[in-house]
């Protein structure tokens, strides 16, 4: 059943399912962070980046070919994240944890907005931009907490060097052509198979292997809720063509 974006009506049977759930999973994607002003890969790039396709900057091959270009673009993205603030969805999801016996939060986003909103344990399927590592030896690298001094349109920036092997430091995200972290993905699948209710918010929920999360939940008997301005899932029990902030804020008010 698809609920129209305005006005937002959350049916009583969903509230009842939520109140009776012992384990809830919330699975978020780029649409949630977009409500905080963080550009998604689908957004048109501007300034220096206008002539590039974001997908072409997000690969090991691109980094090997031009590390300063790739690092500069990711520093621009990191600047955007540091300037952003958690939105209503982040805040409500953090509060939701206090209303259910157990909540597992899984995200495809590489920012820390869920953590800044108060969520304690967040599984990042695609890594985190503020946790870079060496391209050669994979050791973690600490970045200064200050906002990068980047102009709005970005620029090329030479990546720092590893203090252990002198290799180049790369963003701590999962690039195209790389596998999702096995432990994180395995934990996400386990949570999906043991939950009573799963919310899919701000993501199409159809790109593999992350698309297996709602499918595993559904096969295990859980109810699935899709929250996305452009719904894409076929097997959700409830579908809301709304922004995540609007939905979760109203969901919390109704509890």
Question: What's the pLDDT score for residue 3?
Answer: 47
Domain at 91, CATH number: 3.40.50.1220
Average pLDDT score over residue span 56-72: 93
Average pLDDT score over residue span 134-156: 79
Q: Are residues 150 and 230 in the same domain?
A: no
Mention every residue, 6+ apart, whose C-beta is less than 8 A from residue 150. Answer: 72, 75, 76, 79, 157
Domain stops at, among 115, 148, 170: 170
Q: What percent of the chain has pLDDT over 70?
A: 89
Average pLDDT score over residue span 126-155: 83
Please choose, from the candidates 200, 186, 197, 188, the residue with its C-alpha nearest in 3D space to the C-alpha of residue 220. Answer: 197
Question: What's the pLDDT score for residue 55?
Answer: 75
pLDDT grade for 255, boundaries at 50, 70 and 90: confident
pLDDT grade for 8, boundaries at 50, 70 and 90: confident
Domain count, the chain: 2
Residue of 90, 114, 124, 126 with catalytic role: 126
The pTM of this model reads 0.91
Q: What confidence tens digit (pLDDT) does each residue in 81-109 have?
A: 999 999 999 999 999 999 999 999 999 99
Q: Are residues 246 and 121 in the same domain?
A: yes
For the chain, state the CA radius of gyration: 19
Helix 182-194 × helix 212-219 angle, to 10°? 30
Question: What's the pLDDT score for residue 42?
Answer: 62
Please choose, from the candidates 23, 193, 196, 184, the residue with its C-alpha nearest in 3D space to the C-alpha of residue 108. Answer: 184
Q: Are residues 33 and 43 in the same domain?
A: no
Distance CA 173, CA 132 (A): 8
Phi, psi of 113 (to 5 degrees): -70, -35
Active site residue 138: no
Which SS3 state, helix, strand or coil, does residue 182 take?
A: helix
- Domain residues for the domain of 226 are 1-37+86-129+179-255
Average pLDDT score over residue span 171-185: 95
Q: Are residues 183 and 242 in the same domain?
A: yes
Distance CA 122, CA 175 (A): 20
Give the end-to-end CA distance of the chain in Å, rounded to a whole number. 21
Q: Are residues 92 and 23 in the same domain?
A: yes
Q: Are residues 31 and 17 in the same domain?
A: yes
Domain at 75, CATH number: 3.30.1600.10
Question: What's the pLDDT score for residue 43?
Answer: 56
């Amino acid at each position: 059943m698809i609920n129209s974006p305005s006005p937002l009506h959350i049916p009583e049977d969903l509230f009842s399912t939520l109140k009776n759930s012992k384990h809830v999973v919330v699975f978020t994607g780029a649409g949630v962070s977009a409500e905080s002003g963080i550009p998604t890969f689908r957004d048109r790039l501007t300034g220096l980046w206008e002539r590039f396709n974001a997908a072409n900057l997000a690969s090991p091959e691109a980094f090997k070919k031009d590390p300063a270009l790739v690092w500069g673009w990711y520093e621009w993205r990191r600047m955007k994240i540091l300037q952003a603030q958690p939105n209503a969805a982040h805040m409500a999801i953090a509060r939701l944890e206090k209303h259910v016996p157990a909540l597992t939060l899984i995200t495809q986003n590489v920012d820390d907005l869920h953590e800044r909103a108060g969520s304690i344990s967040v599984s990042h399927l695609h890594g985190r931009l503020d946790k870079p590592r060496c391209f050669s030896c994979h050791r973690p690298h600490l970045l200064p907490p200050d906002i990068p001094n980047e102009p709005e349109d970005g620029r090329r920036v030479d990546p720092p060097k590893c203090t252990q092997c002198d290799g180049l430091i790369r963003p701590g995200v999962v690039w195209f052509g790389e596998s999702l972290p096995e432990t994180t993905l395995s934990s996400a699948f386990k949570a999906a198979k043991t939950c009573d209710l799963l919310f899919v918010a701000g993501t199409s929920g159809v790109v593999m292997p992350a698309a297996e999360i709602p499918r595993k939940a559904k096969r295990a008997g859980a109810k699935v809720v899709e929250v996305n301005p452009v719904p894409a899932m076929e097997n959700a029990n409830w579908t809301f063509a709304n922004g995540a902030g609007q939905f979760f804020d109203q969901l919390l008010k109704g509890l």
